[in-house]
Amino acid sequence: MGLSATYKILKEHLVDGLLEPGGEIGIRIDQTLTQDATGTMAYLQFEAMGIPRVKTEISVSYVDHNTLQMGFENADDHRYLQTMNAQYGIHYSRAGNGICHQVHLERFGRPGATLLGSDSHTPTGGGIGMIAIGAGGLDVAVAMGGGPFYLAAPRVLNVRMTGRLRPWVSAKDVILTVLDTLTTKGNVGTVVEYTGPGIESLSVPERATITNMGAELGVTTSLFPSDAMTHDFLVRQGREKSWRELLPDRDAEYHRVIDLDLGAIEPMVALPHSPDNVKRVSDIAGMAVDQVAIGSCTNSSYRDIMTVASILRGGKVHPTVSLIVAPGSRQVLEMVSRNGALADMIAAGARIMESACGFCIGSGQAPVTEGVSLRTNNRNFKGRSGTDSAGVYLVSPETAALSALRGNLVDPTSLPAGECPAIEPPERFLVDDSMIIAPDGGAGEIFRGPNIGGPPYTEPLADSIRGVVGIKVGDKITTDHIMPAGVRLKYRSNIPRYAQFVFEGVDPSFSKLSLERKERGICTAIVGGQSYGQGSSREHAAICPMYLGVRVVIALSFERIHSGNLVNFGIVPLVFAGQGDYDAVRPDDEFEIDGLRKAVEADETVPVRIGTRSIQCTILASQRQRRILLEGGLLNFTKKGS
């Protein structure tokens, strides 16, 4: 049997392990990216490793998440990043230059390469034919130091596309359709590879919309082959030399194949509060809308923003709607401002925002109480918009722009096909990399304002732990639930401060009570349901609980990035044997685990006394991760040169 494109790239980068689905492999990482919200911790940890300069082909540090300077904290973080990056050989993309994934695709992504990013939407890079994986900041720090990235060799699920999208239907509708089929649960350890004649009509930015939202499926990453379309994009970006062809073998082996006829796809919408709560737009068309927000790393390319501008041209935003448009990069913003499209959007009443994450991460633009917000981004978790009672609906830019004009949800295919804007890519994208500062060896000192704490400190795993179940939560708990974003994000470089907000929206007393227990030498356990730790790659969702004395999380199942982060910070992820054991646990139950070190060293499972019962839990860690746990985390493990 031949190889998939996924396995071709993995094979070229394999440095450890056997390339067979399920087994643990180590791969060489060519490129890394960080953003400011995860970056400060990643770089503090990199500094702690004592390596003088990054060893990757290129490492880029983007500032795009915390760009609203409410207080000194974000500005201090950015100055730290800029001065630290200069010294250690990292490119620094300044605030205003755009969203990491969009800029990386435009300026650095390279077919056949590997990219590790401290952001769960790093798989956006799969649109240009690279294996791009999201991970915790500490994993990225290790990769910057030349260490391999470890993962389970994936199963490859092939989505075979035929046909062509109809007018008014676009890439967002494709990925929402895929989410409808595969859902956000149960896809851990899988890569989705898109092939078939249908992909030939999808441009790189459209492919990137699809791979971006693969993050919501919970897969390791998603990948398009590198073909003539990829070549075309790179030529227009003035980066033809970065192109290489990368196709799956004709007889490539896939774990599962799904056929998708692009011509049958309809405009889709993800209803509150989960990206897989998908319906056809036509099912709920006519619903009144309060806010429309267009942008984010999912839908903010030149193609998307030009589509929106041409829909808005000559019209006026409905008086009851607030329309927000945030082009994804300075390249896009400058191009639409030079060609007049920006003026069309402003004339229609759009509010133009900075090229940054902004509304997507709840940094501004919170909707009205109980409001309906149509957004083109990728996550609609409850409260993420900044308004707990609001409902966020995820749609395509076409659906969003038309609805902003009408004041209610419009099914774009109800309009004549001839009115659908046909956006051609520019002959040449406007290239100006002057806001990406190349490292100069760092003439000055590294700036450390009062918001910059130290790298987290962890201790080797104890042999027996006892304590209390501090919280019991249900299914699909996201890292946003564990560590709130929005206004709290600015504390991310300061663990003791940020730790005050662990589970803030679920149980505001969790942090205080856990810390009090820790001071009395008592551990805290977290109990969760299915898919614990969905969403963001935020390693703070492990670091801050660790700081509060959490030593185990017991759940029915875990998401990949989060369980990896738990291990990296010395917290043992344990899996219940079944629903009955989960149901029997009560918050405040006492728990006790003896012989934990020995079990982590050698056993699949470990006995846990919890409440009045004794249950058997599976230790969710590979052999290598077990060694990391015994050392008390990846930083200790790496420093020891293990």
* Amino acid identity at 40: T
Place of tokens 């990482």: 29
DSSP H or E run through 85: helix 73-88
Q: What's 374's DSSP letter?
A: E
Give the pairing of strands 291-294 and 372-375.
Answer: parallel
Binding site for ligand SF4 (CB under 6 A): 65, 99, 119, 121, 296-297, 357, 360-361, 377-378
Token pair listed for 447 = 């700036």
Beta-bridge partners for 270: 278, 394
Least distance from ligand MIC to the Cβ atom of residue 35, Å: 6
> Distance between CA atoms of 631 and 107, rounded to whole angstroms?
39
* Amino acid identity at 62: Y
Which one of ligand SF4, ligand MIC, none is in contact with 296 (Cβ closer than 5 to 8 A by kind)?
ligand SF4
**Cβ partners under 8 Å of residue 516, min gap 6:** none
Nearer to ligand SF4, 413 or 536 (CB): 536
Nearer to ligand MIC, 229 or 546 (CB): 546
Which one of ligand SF4, ligand MIC, none is in contact with 537 (Cβ closer than 5 to 8 A by kind)?
ligand MIC
Nearer to ligand SF4, 100 or 159 (CB): 100
The answer to whether 553 and 528 are in contact (CB under 8 A) is yes
Which one of ligand SF4, ligand MIC, none is in contact with 166 (Cβ closer than 5 to 8 A by kind)?
none
The answer to whether 534 and 131 are in contact (CB under 8 A) is no
Instruction: Please give the torsion angle defined by the CA atoms of residues 232, 251, 9 and 567, in that order, rounded to the nearest 10 degrees.
Output: 130
Least distance from ligand MIC to the Cβ atom of residue 146, Å: 23
Nearer to ligand SF4, 93 or 378 (CB): 378
> Distance between CA atoms of 362 and 395, rounded to whole angstroms?
17
Least distance from ligand MIC to the Cβ atom of residue 215, Å: 7
Nearer to ligand MIC, 109 or 535 (CB): 535
Least distance from ligand SF4 to the Cβ atom of residue 508, Å: 24
Binding site for ligand MIC (CB under 6 A): 37-38, 65, 119-121, 134, 361, 379, 485, 535-538
Least distance from ligand SF4 to the Cβ atom of residue 472, Å: 28
Helix/strand/coil for 12: helix
> Distance between CA atoms of 367 and 287, rounded to whole angstroms?
16
E-strand stretches of 13-148:
14-16, 24-27, 31-35, 58-62, 91-93, 114-117, 131-134
Place of tokens 């930015």: 205
Which one of ligand SF4, ligand MIC, none is in contact with 535 (Cβ closer than 5 to 8 A by kind)?
ligand MIC
Least distance from ligand SF4 to the Cβ atom of residue 432, Å: 22
Which one of ligand SF4, ligand MIC, none is in contact with 377 (Cβ closer than 5 to 8 A by kind)?
ligand SF4
Which one of ligand SF4, ligand MIC, none is in contact with 38 (Cβ closer than 5 to 8 A by kind)?
ligand MIC
| Number of neighbours of residue 447 by Cβ within 10 angstroms | 15
The answer to whether 197 and 228 are in contact (CB under 8 A) is no
Least distance from ligand SF4 to the Cβ atom of residue 475, Å: 22
Which one of ligand SF4, ligand MIC, none is in contact with 511 (Cβ closer than 5 to 8 A by kind)?
none
Which one of ligand MIC, ligand SF4, none is in contact with 538 (Cβ closer than 5 to 8 A by kind)?
ligand MIC
Nearer to ligand SF4, 108 or 637 (CB): 108
Which one of ligand MIC, ligand SF4, none is in contact with 203 (Cβ closer than 5 to 8 A by kind)?
none
Place of tokens 């004339």: 347
Nearer to ligand MIC, 379 or 551 (CB): 379
Least distance from ligand MIC to the Cβ atom of residue 561, Å: 8
Nearer to ligand SF4, 331 or 514 (CB): 331
Nearer to ligand MIC, 37 or 333 (CB): 37
Nearer to ligand MIC, 121 or 239 (CB): 121
- The answer for 474, left when phi > 0, alpha when psi is -120 to 50, beta otherwise, is beta
SS3 annotation, 514-561: HHHHHHCCCEEEEEECCCECECCCCCHHHHHHHHCCEEEEEECCECHH
Beta-bridge partners for 257: 158
Least distance from ligand MIC to the Cβ atom of residue 427, Å: 33
Least distance from ligand MIC to the Cβ atom of residue 39, Å: 9
